[in-house]
Amino acid sequence: MSLLRETDRTKKILFFYWLIVPVLFGSYLIVMSSVQQIPIMALVSTIPSLAISLIVALLQFFQAFGLYLLNDVAASRKSLLGNYLIFSMVQQLFTLNFIGLLLSGLCFWYLPSKKEQEGALSSIKIPLYLLMSFIGVVTLLIVCIRFSL
């Protein structure tokens, strides 16, 4: 029972991390643009690394949505949630988000290793795999752009 509680707690922490970081980054952009007295779009277009960081921050909203879709799915390392967390760890590593990598890893580590019965996944699988594909493609584009800078 304790392991189940730890899994739920780490999932909630990961979910709120993926929601709070983009909000804080947006607040940073607003403050930075008001201090320099230029519009946010001009600021993002003049500083390429800021634009890439904005895209990475917005990707976290999509990842939080994917975790929300998997809220009622059976939790095990071999389930759809386990696969999503492995994907998230790889994505967080590629975008150099080490806190997200650590939280995703902890969430995966607390999952039980036995396969549980999964119910009603057919309605979640296709949208989740499409979301994972979108996140993966954007992440690969970000990595390619970072290497070219």
Q: How far apart are CA 48 and CA 67, in angstroms?
A: 29
Q: How far apart are CA 72 and CA 80, in angstroms?
A: 11
pLDDT of residue 119: 58
Interaxial angle between packed helices 122-148 and 80-94, expressed in degrees from 0 to 180 and rounded to the nearest 10: 10
Q: How many CB atoms lie within 10 A of CB 50?
A: 16
pLDDT of residue 8: 84
Range of the domain at 52: 2-148
Number of domains in the chain: 1
* Residue 114 predicted with pLDDT over 80: no
Note the pLDDT tens digit of each residue in 71-102. 877 778 888 899 999 999 999 999 999 999 99
Residues sharing a CB contact under 8 Å with residue 127, sequence separation 6 or more, in sequence order: 69
* DSSP string computed for 84-95: HHHHHHHHHHHT
Question: What average pLDDT does the segment 37-47 reach?
Answer: 93
Note the pLDDT tens digit of each residue in 115-129. 666 655 678 889 999
